[in-house]
Amino acid sequence: MTATSEMLAGLREAFAVQRTRPYEWRRNQLLRLKSMIDENEPALLEALHADLAKSGFEGRMTETGPVLTELAHALAHLKKWMRPRKVSTPLVNQPGHSRIVAEPLGVVLIIAPWNYPFNLLITPLIGAISAGNCAVLKPSELSPATSAVLARLIPSYLDTDAFRVVEGGVETAIDLLDHRFDHIFFTGSEGVGKSVMTAAARHLTPVTLELGGKSPCIVDGTCDLDVAARRITWAKFLNAGQTCIAPDYILVDETITEDLVARMKTSIRAFFGEDPRMSDDYPRMINARHFDRVRGLMRDGTIATGGSVDEASRYIAPTILTDVDPRSEIMNQEIFGPLLPVLTWKSIDEAVAFVNARPKPLALYLFSNSRDVRDTVLGQTSSGSACVNDAVMQISIPDLPFGGVGTSGMGAYHGRASFDTFSHAKSILTKTEWPDPPLRYPPFTKAKLRILKWFQ
C-alpha cells in the first residue's frame, strides 16, 4: 500500500465511523479554524509577503479577512443548513411525507492555486467541514512559504484523522488524482482544469472547477469616471493583477477613452506613487516564468503608462495599453498580470457582440448609470458573476454563489453554495404501510386506468 493509499484509507475509516457527521464536531472544527487564523495571522501574512510581496493590509483584505467572514457566516447558518428540508408529497403517495437531507460526500480533495494561496485553500475547506466531510488539502508549490505554514498549522488545530495537508509539485498532484475521491475541488487554469477533469472521469468523481478567463470591463459615459477609474485601477492591480476575476481588458465608449485613461493614470500615481517599485503596497509576480510571460505581452499595444520591469525582483509596473489589436496574443489568453488593455466601442451593441464572440468569462464588470445599458449588457451576456459600478467586490458576499460558466468553470461555492457543493441532496420518502390500495398492482384494468389518470 502506498503512502497516499494508506492516508486515504485512514480518512475513509474516520468518515465510516461517523466522526465528521455531528453538528458539534463540525462547529468545533470551524471554531478551531478561526482560532488558527486569530492566533497565527502575523505568520500567515509574513508567508504571503514572502511568496507574493503582499502588504499586511492587502493580505488581511484579500486573504485572512474574507476567510474569517466566511467562517462567521458558516457558524451562524450551519444548523439551518444541516436541517432536513420538507417538500410537498402528492396525493398518490399519501399518507406519507417527503424530505431532502444534506448528506456528506465522504473524502474530498481540494487543490489550491498560488495567487491567493491561503484564501483559496481555506474557503473551500470551510464548505467541506460544514458539510461533514474529510479532506485532503493540496496547497500550491509555487507559493512555498504559505504552503509550509499551512502544513504546519492545520494539523495543530484540526482533527488529523479527518484532514491531511499534502505538499508537493506536479508529481504529487498527479499521484493524488490517480486515487478515488468523492469530490474534487480545483482552482487554477483552464488547461490544468481539463487534466483534473480527465483524471476525475476515470473514477466518475464529480468536480468543481474554478478556472478563469478574460473578464471584460465595459465603461460608458453615464458613469462617474473618477470613481470608475479608481475602482478599476484598484481591482486590476490588486495582487499585481494575479487575480482570476481581475478586469482583464476594458471596453470603453470611444468618446471618453482619453478621459478614462488619464484618470486611471492619476489613480495609479495616487495608489503607488511616481515609482510603484518603491511602494510597499504593490506586490510582485509569483515567479520568473510568469514574469517572462507577462512581460512578453507588453508588445501587443502602445504603453500609455507603466511598462517598466525589474527581472531580479519580478517587478512589472502597473501598465495600461492602448491601440490593442483584438487578434493579438494579449487578447487571446488570460493576462494574470498588471497589464490592462483598453479597447473602444461606438455602440453598446458592439461591446456586447465583442464579449459574446469570446468564451464566457468568470466575471463581467459594467460601469454605467443607464438602466437601458445595464439591462442590455446583463441580459445579453453570460458570465460566472457580474458587478455594476464596481469590480471584484461581488466575491466578498457570502450569500452570492461564486463560480464560472462554460470554460471559466463549473460549480459554485461561498456561503450556502459551499455547503451544497460538498453535500449530496438525498431525497427521502416515508410512507405508512396502510392503506395499500391494489391500483398499482397487476392485473391492470380499464377501471384502474381511469383512476390512474385521475391521480396524475
pLDDT higher than 90, residue 323: yes
293 pLDDT band (50/70/90 cuts)?
very high
125 strand-pairing partners? none
pLDDT higher for 449 or 143? 143
- Name the band, by pLDDT with cuts 50, 70 and 90, for residue 184: very high
| Active site annotation includes 223 | no
pLDDT at 1 over 80: no
**What pLDDT does residue 193 have?**
96
Give the global pTM: 0.96
CA 178/CA 203 separation, integer angstroms: 9
Does residue 456 register a pLDDT over 80? no
Correct CATH for 216-403 of 3.40.50.720, 3.60.150.10, 3.40.309.10, 3.20.20.70: 3.40.309.10
Of these residues, 134, 244, 334, 387, which one is catalytic? Answer: 244
| pLDDT exceeds cutoff 90 at 59 | yes
For the chain, what is the largest distance between any 2 Cα atoms, rounded to a whole number of angstroms?
88
pLDDT of residue 92: 86
d(CA 18, CA 27): 15
pLDDT average, residue stretch 156-172: 97
Q: What's the N-to-C CA distance of the chain in angstroms?
A: 55
Is domain 3-211+408-428 in CATH 3.10.180.10, yes or no? no
**368-373 CB contacts, 8 Å cutoff, 24+ apart:** 368/218, 368/219, 368/220, 368/222, 368/223, 369/222, 369/223, 369/224, 370/220, 370/222, 373/220, 373/222, 373/348
- How far apart are alpha carbons 87 and 429 in whole angstroms? 10
Cα 120 to Cα 105: distance, rounded to the nearest angstrom: 20
At 38, list the grid cell. Answer: 486569530
Domain boundaries, the chain: 3-211+408-428, 216-403
Whether 210 is a known active-site residue: answer yes
Q: What is the arithmetic mean of pLDDT over 328-341?
A: 97
pLDDT bucket at 136, cuts 50 / 70 / 90: very high
Residue 183: pLDDT over 80:
yes
Share of the chain above pLDDT 90, in %: 96
What mean pLDDT comes out for the span 110-115?
A: 98
Asked if pLDDT for residue 316 goes beyond 90, the answer is: yes
113, amino acid identity: P
Nearest to 381 by CA among 399, 402, 397, 365: 365
Residue 208: is its pLDDT beyond 90? yes
Write out pLDDT tens, residues 371-413: 999 999 999 999 999 999 999 999 999 999 999 999 999 999 9
Packing angle, helices 371-380 and 348-356, rounded to 10: 20
Pick from 44-48, 148-152, 272-276, 445-449: least confident: 445-449
What per-residue confidence (pLDDT) applies to 331?
97
Say if residues 117 and 140 touch (Cβ distance below 8 Å): yes
pLDDT at 455: 78
Q: Where are the beta strands (DSSP E) in 154-201?
A: 163-165, 183-187
* Tens digits of residue pLDDT in 26-45: 999 999 999 999 999 999 99
Please tell me the predicted confidence (pLDDT) of residue 102. Answer: 97
pLDDT at 147 over 80: yes
Distances (CA, A) of 91 to 2, 94, 114, 217, 448: 54, 5, 54, 52, 16
What does each C-alpha distance from 423 to 120, 193, 206, 451 come to in angstroms? 19, 21, 11, 39
pLDDT (mean) for 436-445 = 91
Phi and psi at 322, nearest 5°, equal -115, 175
**Which of the residues 210, 217, 334, 387 is marked catalytic?**
210
Average pLDDT over residues 40-60: 98
**pLDDT at residue 454, as a whole number:** 84
**CB count in 10 Å sphere of residue 289:** 10
d(C-alpha 276, C-alpha 237), whole Å: 11
